[in-house]
Structure 1
Amino acid sequence: MKGFYLIFTLLTGVSVFGQTLGSKLEKRTLALGEVAVFQVTVSDLQGKGVVSAPKNELLPFHFEEVKDSITKQADLYERVIEFAVFEEGKFTIPALDFTIGGRLYHTVPYEVEVINTAQKGDQISDIMKNKEVKLGAQDYWELYKWYILSALIVLALIFIIYMIVRYVRRRKNSPVVMTNQTLRELDNLKKKKYIETGDYRSFYVELIDITRNFITKQYKIPADVLLTDDLIDVMKMNNTISPENEKIVEEVFLRGDLVKFAKTFPDQDTMQKDFSDMRGFVKRSSKDLEVEQLRTGV
């Protein structure tokens, strides 16, 4: 009876602890960069789980893992790692931890020697000689097309920006824009009621300043820096301003000089007439420019 119990106990122990952890290293001596195989197997697994380091993290630092594959069946676990070492010397694969069914097991350690098989003075030759390839226009286009297209896009953007800036400047300095701007300035002058209050000096100072600025920008005559007599001479020599408008500018400017130096004291009717004449001159200026363009053929 005791013998039967002993045999039963041994059979039970084998069935419980029957799994076997084994490892195998294909080569112990490797050339630099040579790929070797390290294999771990667990047999008679009996459906138990196996836990080890994650993929590509089982071997130490110097061992560059190329491939790490795990195969598991009901009674067999197999992990195959292909690796290479890129330094000369002796390196150790330590005892690695594997937990099987909640119990920790260790593989046996291995020592690997890595050698440089190339000898000093060995001549390294290409497998085949370099071959000259002639490139055609299509080949150069494929090589540099993106650079060329980028350069063309940049040039196009620069041209577009230049044209926009030029258009805005021309638009800002166009006769119509300048005329409208000056008319608004004259309207603002009228709202100050210098005529009604008899402040003739302030009225003529601002009226002539507005007109000088207008002539400078509209007719390209330096009215802002010329004395009244010199300005009248330049207008007559320039022939850009019509005789009718020249006469109005001359009369108002001469009267303004007399007012500034207190040599004359105009009444409200005279001030109102000078304002209306100057406003009419500004509105008619575009006709002067049209005539000038026809005369010069621009």
Structure 2
Amino acid sequence: MKKLLFIFCFLICANAFSQILSSSVEKKTIALGEVNHIVITINNLNNEKVSAARENELLPFHFEEIKDSIAQTQDVYYRRIEFAVFDEGKFTIPELEFKVNGKVLKTIPYEIDVINTAQKTDQINDIMNNKEVKLEATDYWELYKFYILAAIAVICLIIAVIMFIKFGRKPKDSPVVATNQTLKELDSLKKKKYVESGNYRSFYVELIDISRKFIAKQYRVPADVLLTDDLID
């Protein structure tokens, strides 16, 4: 009898000084995207440090952790994790491990059933009614400034091409310009008064030279290098 009493007292003392882990989940069945939470508590720490996964990294894939709150005193470790699941189906929270003074404590696994409560016939409404917003000139500029600048650049390019085509090319000698130049040279020859002074040879030499230049410019004939007989032919 004394032996049984001793064993019973030993077990009570061992439990009194050992760490006790407990966990609970608020709901086992949740709607798609509904917020749920799991709570883990470890008692009788006796100033021992608890090692576990970092914040927002304790739960596995599919469980979107929204808030991970951790609090610890000398004797109690408390952790509350709010989470949501955005996929329909059954998902398992496995055993979660916590180390206390080299000893591994584990929670029990939980199976969470996620259902889609929306129906095909449900009407989807906007969160807020559409609101008409009046835009100022600066707002339109911010919206369309790149299009406006691009249009201006295209217009400037077109104007530059037109100006180049119209004024950039080397002008060809027109018949009017060639004729006016010839008339000026003939007038200059007349003012020299070779005929009045009897200097017929100089008159005919310069007259032939003026004629050659005129023919060369007007008709694109190399009159300045051809003989007089060739020009006559």
Q: Verify same fold: TM over 0.5.
A: yes
Q: 1:129 to 1:35 in 2, by over 3 A?
A: closer
Partner of 1:244: 184
More strand by share: 2
Partner of 2:192: none
What is the deviation of 1:39? 0.9
| Correspondence 1:139 to 2:82 | no
CA RMSD in angstroms, aligned pairs only? 4.4
Deviations 1:69-127 (A, max 9, x none): 22233332222111122334332211111122232221111222233444x57543648
| Correspondence 1:156 to 2:152 | yes
More helix by share: 1
Q: 1:245 to 1:24 in 2, by over 3 A?
A: farther
Task: Determine the C-alpha separation between the residues in 2 that align with 1:263 and 1:243.
Answer: 21
The one-letter code matched in structure 2 to 1:109 is P
Task: Determine the C-alpha separation between the residues in 1 that align with 2:114 and 2:99.
Answer: 30
Extract unaligned runs of 5+ from structure 2.
189-205
Contact 2:182-2:210 within 8 A present in 1 as well: no
Task: Determine the C-alpha separation between the residues in 2 that align with 1:245 and 1:148.
Answer: 63
Partner of 2:178: 235
Contact 2:71-2:79 within 8 A present in 1 as well: yes
Task: Determine the C-alpha separation between the residues in 1 that align with 2:139 and 2:157.
Answer: 30
Task: Determine the C-alpha separation between the residues in 2 that align with 1:171 and 1:262.
Answer: 38
Deviations 1:158-217 (A, max 9, x none): 3444566677778866xxxxxxxxxxxxxxxxxxxxxxxxxxxxxxxxxxxxxxxxxxx4
Aligned residues: 198
Task: Determine the C-alpha separation between the residues in 1 that align with 2:22 and 2:95.
Answer: 11
Q: TM-score, normalised on structure 1?
A: 0.50
Partner of 1:61: 61
Q: 1:34 to 1:148 in 2, by over 3 A?
A: closer
Aligned positions of 1:1-298 closer than 5 A:
14=14, 18-118=18-118, 123-124=122-123, 126=125, 130=129, 138-139=134-135, 141=137, 144-161=140-157, 217=170, 220-221=172-173, 235-236=178-179, 239=180, 241=181, 243-244=183-184, 250-251=210-211, 253=213, 257=222, 260-261=225-226
The one-letter code matched in structure 2 to 1:139 is L
Q: 1:31 to 1:172 in 2, by over 3 A?
A: closer
Deviations 1:112-157 (A, max 9, x none): 2233444x575436488956x556xx43757643343223322333
DSSP-derived class of the 1:139 partner: coil
Extract unaligned runs of 5+ from structure 1.
174-216, 223-230, 265-298
The one-letter code matched in structure 2 to 1:61 is F
Q: 1:169 to 1:20 in 2, by over 3 A?
A: same
Q: 1:155 to 1:32 in 2, by over 3 A?
A: closer
Partner of 1:184: none
